[in-house]
Structure 1
Amino acid sequence: MKIGDHHRVLFRTAILTLTSIAWMASALGRPNVIVIMSDDQGVGDYGFMGNGVIKTPELDALVQHSALMNRFYVSPVCAPTRASLMTGRYNYRTRCIDTYVGRAMMDPAEVTIAELLRDAGYQTGIYGKWHLGDSYPLRPMDQGFQDCLVHRGGGIGQPSDPIGAEGKYTDPTLLKNGVETPMKGYCTDIYFDAAMSFIESAVAEQNSFFAYIATNAPHGPFHDVPDELYKEYLTADLSEIFVKDLPAKRVPAEVDKLARIAAMITNIDENVGRLLRKLDDLKIRDNTILIYLNDNGPNTLRYVGDMRGMKTHVDDGGVRSPLVFHWPTAIAVPIVRDELCAHIDLLPTLMDACDVDLPSDLQIDGRSFLPLLMDEEANWPKRQVVIQAHRGDVPQQYHHFSLHEDPWKLVHPSGFGKETFPGSPKLELYNLREDPRQQHDVSDEFPDVKARLQKAYEAWFADVSSTRPNNYAPPRIVIGTDHEPTTVLTRQDWRHTKGRAWAADSNGFWLLESMKPGTYDVELVFTDAQNSGQATIRAGDHAEKLIIQQGKRRGHKIRMALPGGKFSFSVDVVFGATNQGPHQVIIQRFSTP
């Protein structure tokens, strides 16, 4: 019997305790870890989840040799999921409460999976989407990742794109360890190539590694997708994954969009296959944990299995993801578990598997689900998981939340796009085991259950809202440090004040901090060549004027003194009768007293 076969038998026939995990880590070496998370791929966008149209053959095959967490919850939108996944904590504890205008930034004091594994001797790398802050001290390279190849903001094609590379999924300009770097190829392929190079280097140096591959696909925009796959999907019957009938005139556009999304999904799947073959070539697959999940519901109203909902919804179709857990050393046959688990559980699960102790003062909300994968009879005490996310600066009690306690779901789907909801909450109660599509509100039949869960939600909201003083104050960007002498301020991280958040005539301000006063070169950047105008640049109580020359996107520069400490920074630009903000601002340290 080979040593790998012996340990498979051991793991499948004995109750796995923390002691046996530690023994395995000592005997075989700690496992490597790869986490792959796609962006806006829904819970039903997989062959193994019943989708007969979108092709995911590599993942379908992987599930046959993996554990599948079949009742795994995420947040309804991007950044909150990422904050919870990285920290094992509800995102409301982390100051990350929305997806843009400064509310997708995670407090730098948060402890991430990458920091814990780095401190335990792992090499760490991230490839793709971070979406928890673009400037020091909020970048992934400030939060434990030693090798970083990422895009800014919440996706390519947003105001945080590097100038001159806007919206480019093919040949994008990415941030390589903080430096804007032009790349060749399709973005998803680039991320997997970079991750595989990182893995090869770690193996050559005989180091354990943690690679986080977070694709921005199949998030929009949809103009740039793998062409051959797109053409193939245009010939498929994509109406099979519509969840409602559409007027005939809308069908061609919907089919085209779904063909583009499906092409991006199958491209991710092909890259998973490439990665697995690389692990086989390097002879490290047996003791490498590979996890695959998506960050929220699908970005269109399409097939989500026996559920309802999509991205931004707190119904199950908007907050469920399959989680595939592949670890050949420990899991030899397919396992399907239906216990209630969530994004907050990933950190403690990985620390268990890697035999890494959590700091004694670290408060987490998740629990390790590793025992569920190793022992069919493992005890899993009843628990509650709360998911809440909506627009706005401060979370509002009852607004757009769901509380889960198997089999119950208490939900108030008041709408992600709203900052507040009018009137009293109209709470709904569902038995998901009997009614997974949430068709029958059973509040009147089980008033005691509804009242108990409502009280539990209120206690949860009070708890997560009091994690730290001034709990929901946005984090600040720190300028002028050796970590980042040049800071790019974008509309992703500004605090919005007028107009639609990213519209040309909108404006906002940035919350900055500097360790001491200094002189900086400030450059204003616009989306296109402008008419002449005048900008007023304010840093705290100090203001400077700058003439904007006609016909220039860039090159509008001024050298000015910026204060030390905490201050707000804003730019008001007057073009004729309009007053707006810049597209981006580049601040470069010149000198400090």
Structure 2
Amino acid sequence: MNIPFKLSLVTLSIISITFFACNKEDDPVEPTVTDLPNILLIIADDMGKDATAGFAEGSIKPTTPNIDKIKDEGLTFNNLWVNPTCSPTRASIITGKYGYRTGVKWANDELDPSEEILHKFIKDETDNAYSTAIIGKWHLSGETTTINPESFGMDYYAGLLSGGVQSYYQWQLTENGESTVQTQYITKVFTDLSIDWINNQSKPWFLWLAFNAPHTPFHFPPGGMHSQGTLPNYTDGLDPMPYYMAAIEAMDFQIGRLLSEIPQEELDNTIIIFMGDNGTPTQVAQAPYSSSTVKGSLYQGGINVPMFISGKGVSRTGEDNHLVCSSDLFSTIAELAGVGVTEVHDSKSFKALLSGTTAHRDFQYSESNNGIRDLWSISNGSFKLIVNANGEEELYDLDNDPYEQNDLLQGGLTTEQENAKSDLEEELSKIRM
């Protein structure tokens, strides 16, 4: 596994980095390389609130001590919205743009190589102060298996180009633009690659680690990584839940191994973000969700997913209920990296929430297009509107009906509800101008 060696810390420690702020009036004090935190973004694939410890949704939970530690030592974001499927969520994070701007609105949609990605933005705006990498699932180039994601502007890529694997034990690894067939457990390999890459860095780093767990196929992970006991090989007709839970627990085990391999001083200077990319798969949806309100849908079970942030500079703990969109991670991570910017494209930084309670947005937005029709959703936190391109609409009172059982448009609206609907429609039209 060829991982490029970086400049020495001695050389870098004497270099001051100039940061360029967008629309700033006064130049900030220029931080040195040693002031900058490492940033670790961990993305779980198909892990909704009903499959995550600490949330009321779902009655069957995996044992995840390492993810729990990230949660308990930091901040839980209760109102993160993503997209109903994985590619659009990843595209929104990496570009800071909503899907209708990039054309990535459903799984397997392709991100145009002309888009500026977060990794390149950080490197350009910090005068190359950061080493950057993506390890794991890419899924932004359709089903193309010949592209080298490094061409988008990151320093290093190793992982799975496509959206999934036929087997967690036999899959195609792309590294340095070359592909090889792997027979080791994919979750462990992504962790090994991450450990190797981090250990070879000598300046601040930003690692986007995208596991493909617990995405299907349902399978039995190696022993010692989970608490689900001995399971037969999965076949149709078996209960998929223990296999799904085992995959989450195996991922948690590997997250713990990764964090234990980072020297404590370096870990103390690291911000950790853990999140899901969309809701739970239909086969393992748990109440209060149903198979029609999880992954693939614009209902809360499909787009309101877990996010925990802890580590360097995160002084708040507990829960936060402010509205956040996945696109906001672009500006937030950039600001954490020292870039003097709080808003880029559709991305609004919520860095201030890590230490305070200042709201950064009044509405949140999500969308989808499954090849049949466009759908859009917008919320002010209390009311939520879903709009179908065919003109159909649904309106929900999330304060009193958080799981969207009662479409208010099926009856008469109060003045408050009429005003909320009008405001949401107006904001939606502004977003899509």
Please report how far the alpha carbon of residue 449 of structure 1 lies from its aligned counterpart in structure 2 after TM superposition: 2.1
Cα separation, partners in 2 of 1:220 and 1:356, compared to 1, 3 Å? same
Give distance in 2, aligned partners of 1:269 and 1:388: 30
Pick one of 419, 425, 429 that aligns with 1:454.
425
1:295-342 CA distances to partner (integer Å, 9 max, x unpaired)? Answer: 001012545676662100100010011211112x32255232100001
Pick one of 221, 233, 244 that aligns with 1:261.
244
The answer (yes or no) to whether the contact 2:273–2:310 under 8 Å persists in 1 is yes
Secondary structure at the counterpart of residue 402 of structure 2: coil
Secondary structure at the counterpart of residue 366 of structure 2: strand
Give the AA of the match of 1:451: S
Cα separation, partners in 2 of 1:54 and 1:88, compared to 1, 3 Å? same
Give distance in 1, aligned partners of 2:72 and 2:85: 29
Please report how far the alpha carbon of residue 389 of structure 1 lies from its aligned counterpart in structure 2 after TM superposition: 0.7
Identity %: 26
Aligned pairs for 1:328-347 within 5 A: 329-332=312-315, 334-347=317-330
Secondary structure at the counterpart of residue 284 of structure 1: helix
Secondary structure at the counterpart of residue 48 of structure 2: coil
Give the AA of the match of 2:50: G
Please report how far the alpha carbon of residue 425 of structure 1 lies from its aligned counterpart in structure 2 after TM superposition: 2.8
Give distance in 2, aligned partners of 1:231 and 1:286: 29
Q: Could you list the runs of 5+ residues in structure 1 that have no partner in the other structure?
A: 1-17, 157-166, 236-251, 415-420, 464-593
Cα separation, partners in 2 of 1:22 and 1:373, compared to 1, 3 Å? farther
The answer (yes or no) to whether the contact 1:72–1:321 under 8 Å persists in 2 is yes
The aligned residue for residue 366 of structure 1 is 347
Secondary structure at the counterpart of residue 256 of structure 1: coil
The aligned residue for residue 7 of structure 2 is none
Secondary structure at the counterpart of residue 321 of structure 1: coil
Please report how far the alpha carbon of residue 458 of structure 1 lies from its aligned counterpart in structure 2 after TM superposition: 3.3
Secondary structure at the counterpart of residue 285 of structure 1: helix
The answer (yes or no) to whether the contact 1:304–1:317 under 8 Å persists in 2 is no
The answer (yes or no) to whether the contact 1:150–1:176 under 8 Å persists in 2 is yes
Pick one of 368, 381, 385 that aligns with 1:410.
385
The aligned residue for residue 10 of structure 2 is none
Cα separation, partners in 2 of 1:27 and 1:146, compared to 1, 3 Å? closer
Secondary structure at the counterpart of residue 54 of structure 2: helix
| 169-178 or 191-200, larger mean C-alpha shift | 169-178
Cα separation, partners in 2 of 1:337 and 1:175, compared to 1, 3 Å? same
The aligned residue for residue 291 of structure 1 is 273
Give TM-score scaled by structure 2 length: 0.82
Q: Does 1:220 align with 2:216?
A: yes
Aligned pairs for 1:322-333 within 5 A: 322-327=306-311, 329-332=312-315
Please report how far the alpha carbon of residue 457 of structure 1 lies from its aligned counterpart in structure 2 after TM superposition: 2.1
Q: Does 1:109 align with 2:111?
A: no
Cα separation, partners in 2 of 1:231 and 1:123, compared to 1, 3 Å? closer
The aligned residue for residue 210 of structure 1 is 206
Cα separation, partners in 2 of 1:336 and 1:330, compared to 1, 3 Å? same
1:65-90 CA distances to partner (integer Å, 9 max, x unpaired)? Answer: 11111110100001100100101110
Give the AA of the match of 1:36: I
Cα separation, partners in 2 of 1:269 and 1:451, compared to 1, 3 Å? same
The answer (yes or no) to whether the contact 1:226–1:263 under 8 Å persists in 2 is no
Compare relative contact order (CA 8 Å, sep 6+) and give the higher one, 1 or 2: 2
The aligned residue for residue 31 of structure 1 is 37
The aligned residue for residue 152 of structure 1 is 161
Q: Does 1:431 align with 2:401?
A: no
Give distance in 2, aligned partners of 1:325 and 1:273: 15
Give distance in 2, aligned partners of 1:456 and 1:333: 31
The aligned residue for residue 60 of structure 1 is 68
Give distance in 1, aligned partners of 2:226 and 2:145: 38
Q: Does 1:196 align with 2:195?
A: yes
The answer (yes or no) to whether the contact 1:86–1:112 under 8 Å persists in 2 is yes
Give TM-score scaled by structure 1 length: 0.61
Please report how far the alpha carbon of residue 24 of structure 1 lies from its aligned counterpart in structure 2 after TM superposition: 9.6
The aligned residue for residue 83 of structure 2 is 75
- In terms of Rg, which structure is larger? 1
The answer (yes or no) to whether the contact 2:111–2:140 under 8 Å persists in 1 is yes
Cα separation, partners in 2 of 1:191 and 1:175, compared to 1, 3 Å? same
Give the AA of the match of 2:428: Y
Secondary structure at the counterpart of residue 128 of structure 1: strand
The answer (yes or no) to whether the contact 2:363–2:380 under 8 Å persists in 1 is yes
Give the AA of the match of 1:192: T
1:478-533 CA distances to partner (integer Å, 9 max, x unpaired)? Answer: xxxxxxxxxxxxxxxxxxxxxxxxxxxxxxxxxxxxxxxxxxxxxxxxxxxxxxxx
Give distance in 2, aligned partners of 1:351 and 1:215: 22
Give the AA of the match of 1:40: D
Pick one of 299, 308, 311 that aligns with 1:315.
299
Secondary structure at the counterpart of residue 246 of structure 2: helix
The aligned residue for residue 98 of structure 1 is 106
Secondary structure at the counterpart of residue 232 of structure 1: coil
Give the AA of the match of 1:187: I
Secondary structure at the counterpart of residue 327 of structure 2: helix
Aligned pairs for 1:471-550 within 5 A: none
Cα separation, partners in 2 of 1:52 and 1:267, compared to 1, 3 Å? same
Secondary structure at the counterpart of residue 115 of structure 1: helix
Cα separation, partners in 2 of 1:193 and 1:382, compared to 1, 3 Å? closer
The aligned residue for residue 248 of structure 1 is none
1:446-470 CA distances to partner (integer Å, 9 max, x unpaired)? Answer: 2232233223323433x2xxxxxxx
| C-alpha RMSD over aligned residues | 3.0
Give the AA of the match of 1:284: E
Give distance in 2, aligned partners of 1:307 and 1:22: 47
| 88-97 or 439-448, larger mean C-alpha shift | 439-448
Cα separation, partners in 2 of 1:226 and 1:54, compared to 1, 3 Å? same
The aligned residue for residue 388 of structure 1 is 367
Give distance in 1, aligned partners of 2:30 and 2:310: 16
1:143-202 CA distances to partner (integer Å, 9 max, x unpaired)? Answer: 12222112122112xxxxxxxxxx231153311111012435210110011011100000
Structure with bigger strand share is 1
Give distance in 2, aligned partners of 1:459 and 1:173: 43
Give distance in 2, aligned partners of 1:24 and 1:286: 22
Count of residue pairs brought into register by the alignment: 394
The answer (yes or no) to whether the contact 1:169–1:224 under 8 Å persists in 2 is no
The answer (yes or no) to whether the contact 1:108–1:138 under 8 Å persists in 2 is no
Cα separation, partners in 2 of 1:49 and 1:255, compared to 1, 3 Å? farther
Q: Does 1:400 align with 2:375?
A: yes
Cα separation, partners in 2 of 1:260 and 1:431, compared to 1, 3 Å? same
